[in-house]
Amino acid sequence: MRVINFNDQQELIDSYGKKCQIEFQAVGFPSEVVTGTLLRAEFNTKVPSFRIVVEIDGVGLAIPANHILTLSVEE
C-alpha cells in the first residue's frame, strides 16, 4: 500500500475502486483504521469540504476529509 495525497483530486480519482486503508480520528476519540474499497469523494461546493466514501463489507462509510490522518491505496 502507498499513502496518497487525498487533497490532489486527480490522484484521488485515479484511486477509485482500489482497496484502501484509512486512518482517521474524530475530535475527542482515539484514532481508528478501516480497510475497504475506495468508492468516491463527495465534494461540497457550498462549504469548502469533502468526504471520502469507502465500502466495507458492502456498507458505505463516509469519512469527513478533515478527520483523515492517512489514506493508503493498494498499488
Q: Which amino acid, residue 61?
A: L
- Sheet of 2-3, strand order: 2-3, 68-73, 19-24, 32-44, 49-56, 59-64
**pLDDT tops 90 at residue 6:** no
Q: What is the pLDDT of residue 48?
A: 65
The proportion of the chain whose per-residue pLDDT surpasses 90, expressed as a percent, equals 61
Q: Looking at the predicted structure, is the pLDDT value of residue 75 above 90?
A: no
* pTM (two decimals): 0.84
20's grid cell? 484502501
* CA gap 31, 69 in Å, rounded: 9
